Structure 1
Amino acid sequence: MSPSTSPRFFTEREVARHCTEDSCWVLMGSRVYDVTAFLRMHPGGEALIRSRSGKDVSQAIEGPPHRHSENARRWLEQYYIGELDRDNGTDEAQTLRERNKAREQTEGEEAKKTTALKDEDGHAPYNLCSSVDLDKDLVDWRKPLAWQVGHLREKYDEWVHQPVDRPIRLFGNPLMEAITKTSWYWVPIVWLPIVFYLSWHCYTTLAQGTIRVALTSDFSIPIHKYLFPVLFLIGWFLWSFMEYCIHRFVFHMNPPAHNYYLITLHFLLHGQHHKSPFDGSRLVFPPGLASLVVGVFYVTLSSVLPDILGLCVFVGGLGGYVVYDMIHYYLHYGSPKKGSYLYSLKAYHVKHHFEHQKLGFGITTKFWDHPFNTAIPDEKF
């Protein structure tokens, strides 16, 4: 609902009826929110919100056990749909008529505004969210964002870390735009056959019993086929370190406010994900971009380790990358069981997005955040 339109009014009975996974409403004081679209995204799980459906969540927002960040409160405003009507006296019929009239006016105004927001192709790809006033935001959401963000200069960092629930269009050119989007299933489709083939190749090569590593000119040791799982896990461990370093030092680089090109590069690499963290088409690496990282990883290992050993470690790292992308997607859209490892990772990652953007760089594991002192601290009340 646009902030400029008249609010709708709902009775307590109406709000209480919306308590299913198909329609879930909550209250904040007298404000009514339809959070149905957020159920799967909520880090605390879908059941936690549904248990509070039709009720006031003000105390839960304030905590304990968790005091929600300003970004989380701003995010909630995107689902605002109207106000609670507590007038249950003799004029209830009149109140209902007025409310229905307000609804009709609101729907008419929103339809006009949606039509006005259509892009050059005649599409209206953006949902109206009250937390983003399209006429007052620092960028023009009616146009591709890639070439706009560099002009934000010193305002960029604050703007990009105020997330919104709306799709982002990066480029006006349809082909360039399509290249930046990837469905999650392309990651296993493209990379898992390579992982399986290389794993089979490495194991059967080691099984021949002819691979030896020379420690000195006169001494070498055989590499048994049963060492392949160890080498594979070493590669996976190395990938977890690369994952941390890429996320922290590349994706979260701090572009100078005066550098238009570095700001644009940051937005294309990762800033757009922080601005729209639930854009499902940009939660995994496009295979073309991922192949560059994979190639660097392979060349590095091949130059340091003997041929087959380097390949064994590489395939472990490649397997780790596939798991990384799948877990990252799941942390945004999955509903892990409370108390599970993935549940703690989801809560950790959502805190990184909404409150601690300079901490919590681990995705598949929190391990590297501890020695590098970037772990998100536990909440204290």
Structure 2
Amino acid sequence: MSPSTSPRFFTEREVARHCTPDSCWVLLGTRVYDVSAFLRMHPGGEALIRSRAGKDLSGELEGPPHRHSENARRWMEQYYIGELDRDSCTEVQTLRERKKVGEQMNGKTAEKTTEKQVDEDDEMSPYNRCSPVDLDKDLVDWRKPLAWQVGHLREKYDAWVHQPVDKPIRLFGNPFLEAATKTYWYWVLVVWVPVVFYLSWYCYTTLAQGSTRITITSDFSVPVHKSMFPVLFLMGWFLWSFLEYCIHRFVFHMKPPAHNYYLITLHFLLHGQHHKSPFDGSRLVFPPGLASIVVGLFYIILHSVLPHILGVSVFVGGLCGYVVYDMIHYYLHYGSPKRGTYLYGLKAYHVKHHFEHQRSGFGITTTFWDHPFNTVIPDEKF
């Protein structure tokens, strides 16, 4: 909602009615927010917000257990839809409405249909649509492709790119070039999983022939048994985890010089656009065409430093690690892992990286490498 637009006022009864699986409203003081579109993205899971539907979340934003960052608060404002009119509804009406919603969710089909129709009407209302960015005041023109604009931001680029918004980004005006930068998550599996399975079978069967040996001296060599394949595979996976950290930290999070238009543009294309719009589902995994360049370099390096079949065995482990990385990264943005699980911890860690600690927390599939390089996101203290 534009600051110049007069806010719409909602009764407590209206707010209480929006606590269904399809519509979730919350309060910050007297400010009303429709966070329905944010439920899947919330690092704490959907249930955490649903259980607080219609309630004031001011205390939860301050913590404990988690004090929300300024970026998180700014993100919240994208879902602002109006103000609460406390004088228009009594507490008794609110309780009655909550009871009615509970009955609907337990099987009152006719009433549920009516509720759905009302919700659909609300979907058509302009007050139910958030305004992710102020098109007239933002530093770039979102009506035009962003790729060639960001370089002109100069010293303002770093702060701008690390203020996330819930808005799809168009990088290029050319439709074919734009399409080449987008990939749905399942294409990673379609392209790379068959390669992983084929190379794994090839390496194992080659080692099973018993003819592979590592030459130590001209007179001495050591045979490589087929049982070594899992070891080589895991070595490749471990090596990938290190490359994952290094690429994320030193390439994706390089700080381009403010005066260098081309490096700023390159940074935005590589990773800046992901930090500006972290929930753009079409750009959460690498397009296989671009990924094949990195994969090819990885293969050439291993093939040049290790005997052929050993290099391929390590390579396929690294390739598998990459596939798992891309899938986990997608899940950390859109999945809802159960509280207390490993993936739940990774999701919370990664969201902190996006919203508050952009100069730390570079591990995606593991936080292991953040420890020796001293880039662990610090624990919050209250």
Structure 1 residue 144, shift from structure 2 partner: 0.4
Q: Does the 8 Å CA contact 2:13/2:89 hold for their aligned counterparts?
A: no
Q: Amino acid of the residue matched to residue 235 of structure 1?
A: G
CA contact (8 A) 1:3 1:130 kept: no
User: Which residue in 1 is equivalent to 2:227?
Assistant: 226
Maintained 8 Å contact 2:11/2:89: no
Greater helix share, structure number: 2
Return the alpha-carbon distance in structure 2 between the equivalents of residues 88 and 276 of structure 1. Answer: 38
**Structure 1 match to 2:324:** 323
Question: Matches of 1:162 and 1:291 in 2, distance apart?
Answer: 31
Letter in structure 2 aligned against 1:51: S
Q: Which residue of 2 aligns with 1:310?
A: 311
Distance in 1, Cα, partners of 2:21 & 2:196: 38
What CA distance in whole angstroms lies between the structure 2 residues aligned with 1:130 and 1:276? 14
SS of the residue aligned with 2:43?
coil
Q: Report the Cα distance in structure 1 between the residues aligned to 2:197 and 2:289, rounded to whole angstroms.
A: 20
How much has 1:130 moved relative to structure 2?
A: 4.1
Q: 1:49 maps to what in 2?
A: 49
CA contact (8 A) 1:251 1:269 kept: yes
Equivalent position amino acid for 1:77 in 2: E
So what's the TM-score if we normalise by structure 1?
0.90
Does structure 1 residue 16 correspond to structure 2 residue 20? no
Please tell me whether residue 361 in structure 1 is matched to residue 362 in structure 2. yes
Alignment partner of 1:81 is 2:114 = no
Deviation at 1:86, TM superposition (A): 1.1
Give the root-mean-square deviation of aligned CA atoms.
1.7
Contact map agreement 2:12 2:88 (CA 8 A) in 1: no
Q: Which amino acid aligns with 2:286?
A: F
For 1:97-127, what per-residue CA distance to the aligned partner results, in whole angstroms no more than 9, with x for missing partners? xxxxxxx9xx89x69xxxxxxxxxxxxxxx9
User: Which residue of the partner structure matches residue 300 of structure 2?
Assistant: 299
Pairwise mapping of residues 25-64 of structure 1 onto structure 2 (< 5 A)? Answer: 25-64=25-64
Amino acid at match of 2:67: R
Give the 3-state SS of the residue equivalent to 2:214 in structure 1.
Answer: strand
Task: In structure 2, list runs of 5 or more residues that go unmatched.
Answer: 91-120
Q: 1:70 to 1:131 in 2, by over 3 A?
A: farther
After superposition, the Cα gap between the structure-2 partners of 1:206 and 1:89, relative to the gap in structure 1 and judged at 3 Å, is closer
> Does the 8 Å CA contact 2:132/2:167 hold for their aligned counterparts?
no
2:265 counterpart of 1:264? yes
Q: Residues 89, 170 of structure 1: CA spacing in aligned structure 2 closer, same or farther, 3 A cutoff?
A: closer
C-alpha distance in 1, partners of 2:280/2:89? 45
Counting aligned pairs with the same residue, the percent is: 83
* 1:80-99 correspondence runs (5 A): 80-88=80-88
Give the SS at the match of 1:215: strand
Deviation at 1:255, TM superposition (A): 0.3
**Are 2:137 and 1:136 aligned?**
yes
Aligned to 1:3: 3
1:58-207 matches, within 5 Å, as 58-88=58-88, 129-130=130-131, 132-207=133-208
Q: State the shift of 1:2 in Å.
A: 2.4
* Structure 1: segments with no counterpart, 5+ residues: 91-103, 112-126
CA distance in 1, matches of 2:130, 2:39: 17
Query: 1:218-252 CA distances to partner (integer Å, 9 max, x unpaired)?
Result: 11111111110110000000000000000000000
TM-score when scaled to structure 2?
0.89
